A and B are shown apart, each in its own frame.
Chain A
């Protein structure tokens, strides 16, 4: 059984949670990105773009089932854990940007590299304590939520698998 920072056990409920983005409700305030930045030692882990004027498209890490970033990393700094979380070891990362170039979703930032590549860790110190991710908790408009898979499937009307991040555009402002 994996243990969190405070010795809490990894909860089954968290395993079934997904980051959900409802772009129809985004007011492009960027508080999710600020929350990510300040909670990860002043490093951006959440990449974003503004391809439309009314919303910020947050390109979260999908925590893929077969991560290309893991395959591309020459330092073996990126690993997919048994619980599905794709994490990066800060100590092993050399900042070579291979993962950023390999990521098909643009979720790893190429430009804002410091000494190593920022990479979404799904706020594991919070989720292990059964709290929601920072970006979901801070969201001022309710566009970002941390929802149970069964709830998402009930809304979609179809089963889902894989990705830890779901883009939701079927609800909210039309």
Chain B
């Protein structure tokens, strides 16, 4: 009789529950957990990767020093020795720690304690996309999954169904429960989410906050930034009367849920979208439900202060202020391409990188440490929409792989330091942002004729590609990446459907297959940002106000290829 064990998925912040069929302690098949309270048994494509992730033959299994396999204790001794050396020479602030968003709350608590033991304030979370500005703007939200069942109106910002497919069933069921129920979507292009919308607001890319502020202004909400209704309506591709009608319509509903999906792009737009979406939900007496790309982004945010952010830490690495860097989880070279160079990483006295698979960052590391998958270690996780997850390990970690918290304890012990018990709540410094000024700036923007970054999220893939790039399923059903071009832009550029196009930016050039689609209005083009080659062409510039990256395809040109 096979044993069925329950676990949770950490590929996004909704943290879907699933079950695993085990045969003599070996995971053999995903079994869907229809008792999981928030996803009710549904699982998206990424959720099914959890099986392959556990049994993948190319996992990192052993510690490495200078790319040679070594026993675990040798790796720990090397890291501890170097950390001591750097600290004695340059003080605690010559050291830095970066953690990913798929670690457990216990790992984050251990990271804070480890940084305190090292005497450094350089601890930062490698949030993906605009997760960080979203969190700073709107916080973790107050909606819970069951709120979706009795909601009578949804405002969906971004391509919610594609980024977080498992919320789709509840939203669609609620919409069709009553004829008067409504779904409003804000999205620059016609996505599968918008297919279910009663009103798809084709907003100008990055101008989502402007339209949300327009709704708040039309509702005459006290304390909300005021904007010109004509400008806000134009940003939403409609006339002022329509915007007013939508605002009036929202006020008539009793249970509104405002859901926003984090994505790449302008960090200020992400921050204000979070802030204004949260405010809109509050003012109509509804609930705010942000959905993040990082599985435990909310747990990291609740535990680790954002006094220092990854862009600041990586700038310090480039400026040679940080000499020793520990990375747990993310592939920072692929996650933020161009933000830090390989030469900068090579120039560090110590780069210790821990990851599930070998990636670009681990290739340049002095010490590599195998990271366990979330289903191999016990831990608690904080999801969005009130989802609290506690995972019991399905199997023992493969090889020498282990949780980040355990590694930090081993290193601290080798250094002769003890980690204090965690549990403190992180404090986040206020960002000095004047919403009115930023909205006025957005009002003056237009996307013109150039290539505008619109992220075509693909549920088969996930951010830096180091995990989904290793999975067999996406390679079978989506063997090539494509760029989505609107019919108007394709005609203007002379691009034929299915042909190659050359995408060139200030950072380089790559060739992609073109999909000509009526989903992209006007001259818009959507770039598959999950593909590392394409991601590397984007400019990642630090926004001093949000302390996060603004991502754009600067100077992008498309030309028909061969």
Contact = CB atoms under 8 A, between A and B. Distances in A.
Contacts of A164: none
B1 interface: yes
A139 to B, nearest CB: 6
A142 interface: yes
Top 8 closest pairs, chain A to chain B, by CB:
A140-B165, A34-B45, A141-B168, A34-B48, A27-B192, A29-B165, A142-B169, A140-B42
Nearest to B168: A141
Contacts of A54: 192, 195
A21 B21 CA distance: 27
A34 B192 contact: no
Interface in B14-62: 29-30, 32, 34, 41-45, 47-49, 51-52
Contact of A27 (B32, B161, B476): B161
Interface string A35-52: 101110010100010000
Given A34-B49, A137-B34, A140-B165, 18 more contacts: A25-B172, A27-B162, A27-B192, A27-B193, A29-B168, A30-B477, A31-B47, A31-B48, A31-B459, A38-B30, A38-B473, A134-B32, A138-B43, A140-B44, A140-B169, A141-B169, A142-B169, A172-B172
Nearest to A126: B31
B517 interface: yes
B443 to A, nearest CB: 32
Interface in B158-203: 161-162, 165-166, 168-169, 172-173, 176, 192-193, 195-196
Contacts of A140: 42-44, 161, 165-166, 168-169
A6 interface: yes
Nearest to B42: A140
A137 B30 CA distance: 12
30 contacts: A25-B172, A27-B162, A27-B165, A27-B168, A27-B192, A29-B162, A29-B165, A29-B168, A31-B42, A31-B43, A31-B45, A33-B45, A33-B477, A34-B48, A35-B43, A35-B48, A38-B30, A38-B48, A39-B29, A39-B30, A42-B52, A112-B476, A138-B42, A139-B42, A139-B169, A140-B42, A140-B168, A142-B173, A172-B176, A173-B195
A91 interface: no
Interface of A: 6, 25, 27-31, 33-35, 37-39, 42, 44, 48, 53-54, 112, 134, 137-142, 172-173
Nearest to A26: B192
A141 B172 contact: yes
B305 to A, nearest CB: 35
A34 B43 CA distance: 9
B258 interface: no
B176 to A, nearest CB: 8
B168 A38 contact: no
B472 interface: yes
Given A31-B42, A38-B29, A141 B165 contact: yes
B32 A28 contact: no
A173 B42 contact: no
B543 to A, nearest CB: 32
The interface size bin for chain B is 35 or more
A46 to B, nearest CB: 10
B84 to A, nearest CB: 46
A65 to B, nearest CB: 30
A44 B43 CA distance: 17
Contact of B41 (A28, A34, A44, A137): A137
A31 B195 contact: no
Given A25-B172, A54-B192, A138-B43, A37 B473 contact: yes
B519 interface: yes
Contacts of A142: 168-169, 172-173
B192 A28 contact: yes
A134 B29 CA distance: 11
B460 A30 contact: yes
B119 to A, nearest CB: 46
Contacts of A48: 477
A33 B161 CA distance: 17
B53 to A, nearest CB: 11
A141 B34 contact: no
Most chain A beta carbons < 10 A, residue from B1, B32, B472: B32
Contacts of A39: 29-30
A38 B519 CA distance: 31
